[in-house]
Amino acid sequence: MSFRGNHILSIDQFNRNDIEQLFSVADKLEPFASKEKITRVLEGAILGNMFFEPSTRTRISFGASFNLLGGSVREITEVGSSSLAKGESLADTAQVLSGYSDIIVMRHPENDSVKKFSEASRVPVINGGDGSNEHPSQALLDLYTIRKELSQNDKTIDNLRIALVGDLKYGRAVHSLCKILSKYKDVKLNLISPDELKLPEDLIRQMNDSRVSINQTENLEKGISEVDIIYVTRVQEERFKNKKDANKYRGLLSLNQSIYTANCEPNTVIMHPLPRDSRSDANELDSDLYENPNLAIFRQADNGVVIRMAMFALVLGVEEKIEETSKPVNWKVGLNS
């Protein structure tokens, strides 16, 4: 795909070269994300950050990424604060907002809504999560994290062994991650979920066609032995018709240090797109894992900034110009010890 001037709606748009290109721009942007240097390459550009569903990481990291490239951010953070609440169509909203922005990131509770919105937009639109369908920027930052974590043990994404745990039916982060993994060779996937929250059949088919080896189980202990990565997810209670039904599944698949020690290989990395549900009846990743050096969840969240910077740089066609406005930073980062 060509990034420049295009919407990013689904992982289906990408091939391995596109992913490599994005990762190499992200590598170049690391000093800017970690604030060793400043760039103003997007000075004057405006991001419309349109979130019609709750978000912490995705919204703030998209906004921070745009700011780190020198651009400004305008936001909507709930349906109630926009004219969608007055009956305006997504197409009209897109027509109007794209007149005020150079690029739009959108999250919305309905599947395919971001695609519909993009069809009426005059500027590129990035899918920040559409219902239970997809979350492409999350899959890109997840794969970037997997690549980084594995490289410390001389492993590659080809030959990856990964366990996906939790709500695989409604989890859009998992759906996009499955699509991206199916682009690599000899991937072994353990799907661990209650029977009612299994990965949708169309995704299983897509991965079978790409020769991903799939094993489905409801047994956490069995599924997490002999894997390089455990990717845990939250029960997506907001997607259930009757929210109370979600209670049945909360807490069924909880990982703690003793389960990890008893079943996992020593370097197995633990990931989670976050937020993790830390209520006592769920506790899908116990706080006793804090001391575990293989708990990568906060490194994973940090990687969201550099990946989203790379997405903006490529879509707005400035990836070769980042150094032109590069300057050292003047302030001191971090706390006094």
Instruction: List the interface residues with ligand NCD, window 87-116 (CB under 6 A).
Output: none
Q: Which of 169, 171, 150, 168 is nearest to 159 (CA)?
A: 150
Q: Per DSSP, which regions of the chain are E strands?
A: 37-38, 46-51, 72-76, 103-108, 125-130, 161-165, 188-192, 213-217, 229-232, 269-271, 327-328
Q: Which of 28, 57, 116, 222 binds ligand NCD (CB under 6 A)?
A: 57
Q: Closer to ligand NCD at the Cβ: 31 or 109? A: 109
Handedness of CA 202, 208, 210, 213 (dihedral sign): positive
Size of residue set near ligand NCD by CB under 6 A: 12
- Closer Cβ to ligand NCD, 58 or 121, answer by number: 58
Task: Please say which residue, 71 or 304, places its beta carbon nearer to ligand NCD.
Answer: 304
Q: Shortest Cβ distance from residue 77 to ligand NCD (Å)?
A: 14
What CA–CA distances, in Å, run from 89 to 24, 94, 117, 120? Answer: 38, 9, 9, 10
Q: Are 214 and 238 in contact (CB under 8 A)?
A: no
Closer residue to ligand NCD in complex, CB, 142/319: 142
Side-by-side strand order, sheet with 125-130? 72-76, 46-51, 103-108, 125-130
Question: By CB under 6 A, which span of 4-12, 195-203, 231-239, 247-255 interacts with ligand NCD?
Answer: 231-239
Identity at 114, one-letter amino acid code = V
Q: Which is nearer to ligand NCD, 135 or 308 (CB)?
A: 135
Instruction: Give the pair of three-digit tokens for residue 71.
Output: 């651009």
By CB under 6 A, residue 303 contacts ligand NCD: no
Our measurement of the distance from residue 195's CA atom to the centroid of its chain's CA atoms, rounded to an integer in Å, reads 25
Indicate whether 7 belongs to the interface with ligand NCD (CB under 6 A): no
The reply to whether omega before 275 is within 30° of 0 (cis) is: yes
Please list every residue from 165 through 184 that binds ligand NCD, using CB under 6 A.
172-173
Shortest separation between residue 141's beta carbon and ligand NCD, angstroms: 9
Query: Measured at the alpha carbon of residue 330, what is the angle toward residues 329 and 336, in degrees to the nearest 5?
Result: 105
Q: Which is nearer to ligand NCD, 121 or 133 (CB)?
A: 133
By CB under 6 A, name the one of 274, 295, 297, 315 that touches ligand NCD: 274
**Which pair of tokens denotes residue 262?**
């008893």
One-letter identity of residue 170: Y
Structure tokens at 75: 């936001």
Residue 138 makes contact with ligand NCD by CB under 6 A: yes
* Of 94-102, 232-240, 285-293, 319-327: span binding ligand NCD (CB under 6 A): 232-240
Give the shortest CB-50-to-ligand NCD separation in angstroms. 15
In the complex, what is the shortest distance from the CB of residue 198 to ligand NCD, in angstroms, rounded to a whole number? Answer: 17
- If the CB atoms of residues 118 and 303 are measured against ligand NCD, the closer one turns out to be 303
Closer to ligand NCD by CB, 41 or 173: give it. Answer: 173
The rounded distance, in Å, linking the Cα atoms of 306 and 222 is: 35
Residues that bind ligand NCD (CB under 6 A): 57-58, 129, 135, 138, 172-173, 233-234, 236, 273-274
